[in-house]
Structure 1
Amino acid sequence: MKEEMNYIEERRGGDGMPELLTVREAYGKLRISKWMLYRLIRSGKLVSIRIGRRRLIPARAVSELVEQLSRESMV
């Protein structure tokens, strides 16, 4: 939860809101299935937030996941 709050507090753009992606946008950017995206969220590897019934993913979380996986693949 604390990690999620850090993403929420991060500001982007002039409106003061972080860039949030829908589930469809996030799995499209990562080129993975919807189910794989949910698996990453459940495992804690990808941060997401819920607003009502919607699940949104901070764009920065997607970028950080790609960076982390890139570092791991170099080892």
Structure 2
Amino acid sequence: MTDAYKVLGMTCGGCARSVSNAIVKAAPSAAVTVDLATGTIIVAGGVAPETVQQAVEGAGFDFGGAA
């Protein structure tokens, strides 16, 4: 299962890494793909949206909900 979410404030590869690492730390089975151009992340592995939101916000970014 894959889900797409908007993440506000990602502007560079370092931001993308921070978000991706935070999600994988919260849900080790997750596979994360980041599209900086659209501010979207794709999360595979059946991770609960609440877990993704907490990880994104914990990394210092704004969670924009489902994309």
TM superposition score normalised by structure 1: 0.29
Structure with more of its chain in strand, by fraction: 2
Relative contact order, higher structure (CA 8 A, sep 6+): 2
TM superposition score normalised by structure 2: 0.31
Structure whose alpha-carbon radius of gyration is higher: 1
